[in-house]
């Protein structure tokens, strides 16, 4: 018996030039062997399409091609993925704590090292190198 999956499509975006369909959806994932387990997750699915030349539809007086799915790639965030393996939410809390620590370290690093960024952008950066005096003078 296969797992029972419930889907709700939240948004769609179609890249007509590259024939890629992006689908943002939420999914309730249940496994039959674990009756009370249900993981409600959000994900983005990337569908690479190919045109079905044998079949076209007529819509609003225009011929529209039909597409077939060539490949599918499901993209889960780490916080969503751990819901599949952590029934009591312990891993989800650990991932959240790790993300908060990483964010804090990034903020501290950006605050401490902003002079390095300023020098790189204003002295070394641009189309040509400028001296410190030139930057200060404007």
- Residues 28-61 have pLDDT tens digits of 877 778 777 778 889 999 999 999 877 766 667 7
pTM (whole model) above 0.85: no
Domain ranges of the chain: 1-83, 88-138
**The predicted structure's pLDDT at residue 119:** 79
Contact of 45 with 20, CB cutoff 8 Å:
no
Structure tokens at 81: 């993925």
Pair 4, 30: CB distance under 8 Å: yes
Cβ contact 23:48 at 8 Å: no
Burial class (CB in 10 A: 0-12, 13-18, 19+), 43: middle
Nearest to 29 by CA among 2, 54, 51: 2
Here the tokens at position 94 are: 């650990």
Render pLDDT for 67-120 as a digit per residue (tens, 0 to 9).
999 999 999 888 887 877 776 778 888 889 999 999 999 999 999 998 888 777
The first and second tokens of residue 4, run together, are: 């029972």
């Amino acid at each position: 018996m296969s797992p029972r999956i419930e889907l709700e499509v939240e948004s769609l975006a179609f890249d007509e030039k590259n024939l890629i369909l992006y689908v943002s959806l939420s999914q309730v994932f249940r496994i039959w062997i674990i009756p009370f387990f249900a993981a409600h997750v959000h994900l983005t699915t990337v569908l690479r399409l190919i045109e079905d030349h044998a079949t076209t539809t007529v819509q609003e007086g225009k011929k529209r091609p039909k597409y077939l799915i060539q490949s599918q790639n499901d993209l889960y965030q780490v916080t969503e993925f751990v819901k599949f393996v952590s029934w009591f939410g312990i891993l989800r809390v650990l991932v959240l704590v790790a993300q908060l620590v990483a964010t804090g370290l990034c903020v501290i690093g950006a605050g401490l090292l902003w002079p390095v960024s300023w020098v790189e952008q204003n002295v070394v950066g641009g189309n040509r190198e400028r001296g410190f005096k030139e930057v200060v003078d404007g």
